[in-house]
Amino acid sequence: MPYISVILILLIALAVTAGLLIFFVVKLYLDREDLRTSSDVILARVLGRFPLPVFAVNKKHHVIQWNKALEVLSGISKEEVMGTNNQWKAFYGKERPVLADLIADGASEEEISARYQGSARKSALIRGAYEAEDFFPLLGEDGKWYHFTASPLTSRGKVIGAIEILEDVTERHIAEQNLRYYARQITRVQEEERKYIARELHDTTVQTLVALIYQMDNFRSGKPVLTEEETAKLNAIYQRMKTAVEEVRRFSRQLRPPVLDDLGLLPVLEWLKGELKKMYEMEVEITVTGEHKRLQPDTELALFRIIQEALINAAKHAKVSSAAVLIKYLEHHIDVSVIDRGVGFDLAGKIDLLPRDGKLGLAGIVERVQMLGGKVDIDSVRGRGTTINVEVAL
Ligand SMILES: Nc1ncnc2c1ncn2[C@@H]1O[C@H](COP(=O)(O)OP(=O)(O)OP(=O)(O)O)[C@@H](O)[C@H]1O
Ligand SMILES: [Mg+2]
């Protein structure tokens, strides 16, 4: 009998312990669920009041957050889109992954870059996040430019989804476009002015001076009766007039070398080589590969100005006595490099800031390449030199 009561007491104790255990496990689970639910609700509330469009997707690409600002931007309500994978409808005319989908999938840098034509890059602030800038023709009245960042959502080190935030940068893009248009107009007008002044100098000033020299020649050949002193003065004036003609001719050629329009890029580079030798005592080695041909006048002019600026920079800043120009005529494009092994400089993306200090050369090179729809790479290392490479389609 006492055994039975001991066993009974033990059984009851066991049952109570098991009951308590189950109670605590269930409570813990419910608490965590509560916590989870409440944190989702808090997040949704915070995002709801956030002024920029934001949404989030889970690993299955289902929308789990969609805020008010995005409802307004896309015209798609939260009710409509939550739990679906229709996030693309806010931005594109046909189905495709958005940046958050790529991040949720752990896509590689190449894949992400390919999707956004090279405009996407790793976020400097958040690990695993990417940012990109793109034009969305379907948004707004005439389309909109957005800068967007997608960051991974993680749990215990695993990616469980991604959150994407968008910022309207249309006004900045329009301002940049206007500035670029303005810069292009200035470049174009400057070239027209140079051409006009060069032609005027050649056609009027030089002709007047040449006529005077001719008259002076006639006068001298008439053997006028002059004192020795008068003859010496006359000869000095005659020589100065000849020098003046040469100077004006040279100035006119420098403004706009006629050989560029008449004969093209390679002959004008030979002329430039001679000028740089005279002006800066700098040797220029020109190497040409491929089958050379005449290019569009705008392309020849722009390439000449780019090479001229790069060589004058080498002469002025690089502290070198020689520089090289390498021109490759390829099937569909021309590749031009100007190389010096001089002091080099720190560029660190500062080209846009140079014009405010009155330094227009490198910014002008970039501008001209953009006008031609080409690519430019300015590579400079302190103590090692500078290479400017330009690639333009033919
Ligand atoms: N080949 C080079 N070697 C060393 N430094 C250079 C070279 N090219 C440019 N730089 C540096 O970069 C700066 C900007 O060059 P940029 O051509 O824009 O202006 P600039 O030559 O000073 O003036 P501008 O071209 O308007 O007459 C230069 O002032 C110089 O410090
Ligand atoms: Mg310069």
Contact 334, 303 (CB under 8 A): yes
Prediction pTM value: 0.69
| Torsional sign, CA 229, 235, 239, 242 | positive
- Which residue's CA is minimally distant from atom 20 of ligand 1? 359
Ligand 2 center from residue 28 Cα (angstroms): 71
Give residue 374 CA to ligand 1 midpoint distance, Å.
21
Ligand 2 geometric centre to CA of 328 (Å): 24
Q: What's the topology of domain 32-168?
A: Beta-Lactamase (3.30.450)
| Dist CA 143 CA 179 (whole Å) | 20
Q: Is the CB of 362 under 6 A from ligand 1?
A: yes
Are the beta carbons of 290 and 328 closer than 8 angstroms? Answer: yes
Q: Is 62 in the pocket of ligand 1 (CB under 6 A)?
A: no
Spacing, Cα 253 to ligand 2 middle (Å) = 19
Ligand 1 touching residue 361 (CB < 6 A) = yes
Q: How far is the CA of 335 from the centre of ligand 1 (A)?
A: 22
Q: Is the CB of 313 under 6 A from ligand 1?
A: yes
Give the Å distance between the CA of 70 and the centre of ligand 1: 46
- What does the pLDDT read at residue 245? 95
pLDDT in tens, the chain (394 residues): 567 777 777 777 777 776 666 666 655 654 555 545 566 777 777 787 888 999 999 999 999 999 999 999 999 999 999 999 999 999 999 999 999 999 999 999 999 999 888 789 999 888 899 999 999 998 888 899 999 999 999 988 899 999 999 999 999 999 988 988 888 898 889 999 999 999 999 899 999 999 999 999 999 888 888 899 999 999 999 999 999 999 999 999 989 998 998 999 999 999 999 999 999 999 999 999 999 889 999 999 999 999 999 999 999 999 999 999 999 999 999 999 999 999 999 877 688 788 888 888 998 999 999 889 999 999 999 999 999 999 999 8
Instruction: Find residue 323's DSSP bridge partners.
Output: 284
Q: Is 345 in the pocket of ligand 1 (CB under 6 A)?
A: yes
Q: Which ligand is nearest to the CA of 318?
A: 1
The dihedral formed by the CA atoms of 198, 201, 207 and 208, expressed in degrees to the nearest 10 = 180
Closest protein CA for atom 30 of ligand 1: 317
Write a three-state SS string for the chain: CHHHHHHHHHHHHHHHHHHHHHHHHHHHHHHHHHHHHHHHHHHHHHHHHCCCCEEEEECCCCEEEECHHHHHHHCCCHHHHCCCCCHHHHCCCCCCCCHHHHHHCCCCHHHHHHHCCCCCEECCCCCCCEEEEEEECCCCCCCEEEEEEEEEEEECCEEEEEEEEEEECHHHHHHHHHHHHHHHHHHHHHHHHHHHHHHHHHHHHHHHHHHHHHHHHHHHHCCCCCCHHHHHHHHHHHHHHHHHHHHHHHHHHHHCCHHHHHHCHHHHHHHHHHHHHHHHCCEEEEEEECCCCCCCHHHHHHHHHHHHHHHHHHHHHCCCCEEEEEEEECCCEEEEEEEECCCCCCCCCCHHHHHHHCCCHHHHHHHHHHHCCCEEEEEEECCCEEEEEEEEEC
Q: Is the CB of residue 318 below 6 angstroms from any atom belonging to ligand 1?
A: yes
Cβ of 359 below 6 Å from ligand 1: yes
Task: Give me 184's structure tokens.
Answer: 């292009």
Q: Return the residue whose CA atom lies nearest to atom 25 of ligand 1.
A: 361
Pocket flag, ligand 1, residue 364 (CB < 6 Å)? no
What is the pLDDT, as a whole number, of residue 22? 64
User: What top-level class would CATH report for the domain 260-394?
Assistant: alpha beta
Q: Which atom of ligand 1 is nearest to the CA of 364?
A: 18
pLDDT for the residue 216: 92
| Integer Cα distance of 176 and 174 in angstroms | 5
The β-bridge partners of 213 are none
**C-alpha 270 to ligand 2 mean position (Å):** 20
Q: Domain ranges in the chain?
A: 32-168, 169-256, 260-394
**Mutation test of ligand 1: which of 190, 305, 313 has the most ligand atoms closer than 8 Å to its C-beta?**
313
The verdict on the CB of residue 43 being under 6 Å from ligand 1 is: no
Residue 233 CA to ligand 2 center (angstroms) comes to 42
* Nearest alpha carbon to residue 47 among 63, 31, 30: 63
